[in-house]
Amino acid sequence: MYGIKKARCIISCSLILFLSSNGGVCSARVPAEEGEKPFTGAQEIDPGGLDILKDRSYDEAITIRDIKIKGNTLVTKEKILNELKTKPGIKFNRDLIKEDLKILYKMGYFTERIKAVPEPGPSGIVLHIEVEENVPVTGFNITGNETVSSAEVLSVLESQAGLPQNITELNRAIHNIEEMYAEKGYILARVKKVSDDPDGMINVSINEGIIDEVEISGNFKTKDYVIKRNLTVEPGEIYNETRLKQDLTRLFGTRAFSDVRRVISPSIENPDKYKLTIEVDEKRTGSISLGGGVDSETGLFGQVGYIDNNFLGRGQELSTSFMMGSGTVLNDRDVVDRASYQIEARFTEPRLMHTLNSLQVNAFARDMASYQVPLGIERRIGGSIEVARPLKQVKNLAGSVSIGIEDTDLREGDEVEINALFNAQKINITERAKQLKGGTFLTIGPSLVYDSRNSLLLPTKGWYGSVGFKEYFAVLGSDARTFGKGHLSLRKYFPLGKKSTFIIGGKMGSKIIGNIPEFEAFRLGGPYTIRGFREGDVGNGEGFMMAVAEFRTPIPFIDRFLKYKIVRDVRLAFFLDTGKLFEETVTNQLYNYPGYAMSIGTGVIVPLPFLGPIRFDYGYPITAVGSGNKRGRFTFGIGERF
């Protein structure tokens, strides 16, 4: 594919074996290999030698006493002798010597002028191997490289410096250079041209694969700019397959397409460049959902919703939902049995004004039995606006700021029962008024998220971390007070074998400013904190710390029987959860919640595209629970636990 231009360095494959025989010349032509230039002439040497060589049957009785190498200056004698099958002490064999000459030629250091001259003697034959070395390599001149440094390219070639030009080694080095580019994602990079100068300098010209044009195909509803803004590969840039795979994953993650592909072809305008075509198959993105079921918190419920992941073909998301429930069905002692409703609307613009900023607007209204304040009824109405942006200065890091307003109203749900609880625990009933404090708050919250996981759906390695702070400014309500709270979360994924993963993680939260009211206190217990406990059964507090260790592995042998990818991706999980609350609230005294907990258990993780991993866990408390009934519990959750 590649060659050195000068005629003196283009090596042919025809080799001549010269054997003196009684005044005549015996020559044998070695066939040329496929793709190599055949040698067309024969050379002669002066006559002389042993008459005994005329008898081929007697050749086998003649021993080779010694082998001498002539004509080499840069390639060592030892290196040449090591390549030969013919060795001193073995019987003279014309066919074996012809094979040896072919082997020497294939070393690549020599011209076609290679010959073997036998010199007979009383104790055997001295075989003279005469070679002519190619012009020596004095250095390399690398051009056309931008993404890979000249030093990296030279590291592949430098072993040839000072040796004769070798087309075999050079072709091997060219292959290694292209492999080095491919490992970095530059799969279109090619060594375009190789030539040599009279002084032995080798010129290597590289075409790294520049994109001349990016074309979008297959979209009817989706605007071209929506697709292109998710692409980091642009015309004039060097194509990188790794980056494009990330782009295609990002495009697929918009949920506007059932398939996304890339096609690469030579540019019509410039054959040295490439045309990149992104082909998409659109799918129906707008849908109306109707559903219902039984939930431990809302009881019997019905739900209706609308969502469009590609609103007006602009890549925006619009969703609304309404849910109504009959009330709790598990008779939680701290949750009043009351019908509830929730209304929510959300609009997301992933590229605000064609920048990397994303915008999310959210509005909600909820009226339900409170899960923060025992036996209380809670109504929340509010909305928020959040702007997020990836931070280019640190890879995998993104920041966001949210601002919102929220009105929280709390009222008594079961006055008789709550009075009985306060009396039983000998707590002054005036504390109840503090639990029912609400108010209207303006909220501001900055946050940072670092995510280097290799997959959002089924991660096996990488880090995930988040840190955030939220300030609540009281704007209405005589008893409302300004307060602030923060959180920190960190997880590390360790790959074990090909498909198993070990995870360690921790999370903490605390008040930063003022005192946190009961309706915003931290809770432990349930599917997203300490498994094996009911929701909130570990207790409430103004601060907490928790940790988790988890091992995930495929279900053994399941891939032998079921070939569906979603089944092969199911994981078994074995976990240990632990956590502790700080500055516990009155609720913990009312129900004797322990304020700390540890549990072990196992579960199943089913990764579902567009929804996330669904978890079914069974946890068993190692420590005591508030009710004193130490038994295991099943929990259900969607997404990563925290």
pLDDT in tens, 596-637: 999 999 999 998 876 778 899 999 999 877 655 567 888 888
- The closest alpha carbon to 575, from 553, 557, 554, 548, belongs to 548
pLDDT band at 7 (very low <50, low <70, confident <90, very high): very low
Looking at per-residue pLDDT, the higher value among 361 and 167 belongs to: 361
**Tokens found for residue 342:** 């929730």
pLDDT at 281: 93
**What pLDDT, in 10s, does the model give residues 490-530?**
999 999 988 899 999 999 999 999 999 999 999 999 899 99
**What pLDDT, in 10s, does the model give residues 91-121?**
888 889 888 998 888 888 888 888 898 888 8
**Tokens found for residue 517:** 């009211």
**What pLDDT, in 10s, does the model give residues 251-292?**
888 888 989 999 999 998 898 899 999 999 998 888 888 876
- The closest alpha carbon to 202, from 229, 176, 171, belongs to 171
- The closest alpha carbon to 322, from 352, 282, 289, belongs to 289
pLDDT at 60: 52
Distance CA(578)–CA(545), nearest Å, equals 9
Q: Do domains 211-282 and 370-638 have the same CATH topology?
A: no
Percent of the chain exceeding pLDDT 90 equals 50
Contacts of 171-174 with CB under 8 Å at 24 or more apart are 171/1, 171/2, 174/1, 174/2, 174/204
Contact 155, 176 (CB under 8 A): no
**Tokens found for residue 56:** 């081929």
Please determine, for residue 148, whether its predicted confidence score (pLDDT) is greater than 70. Answer: yes
Number of alpha carbons in the 13 Å side-chain half-sphere of residue 217:
12
Could you tell me which CATH number the domain at 139-207 has? 3.10.20.310
**Tokens found for residue 28:** 């044998």
Q: Decide yes or no: CATH 3.10.20.310 for domain 211-282.
A: yes
- The closest alpha carbon to 582, from 536, 530, 544, belongs to 544
Q: DSSP secondary-structure letter at 13?
A: -
**What pLDDT, in 10s, does the model give residues 201-224?**
999 999 999 999 999 999 999 999
Please determine, for residue 69, whether its predicted confidence score (pLDDT) is greater than 70. Answer: yes
**CATH number, domain 7-130, options 3.40.50.1260, 3.10.20.310, 3.30.43.10, 1.10.3720.10:** 3.10.20.310
* Domain extent listing, the chain: 7-130, 139-207, 211-282, 370-638
Fold of 370-638: Porin (2.40.160)
**Tokens found for residue 622:** 């190692």
pLDDT at 610: 63
pLDDT at 42: 29
Mean pLDDT of the chain: 84
pLDDT at 623: 87
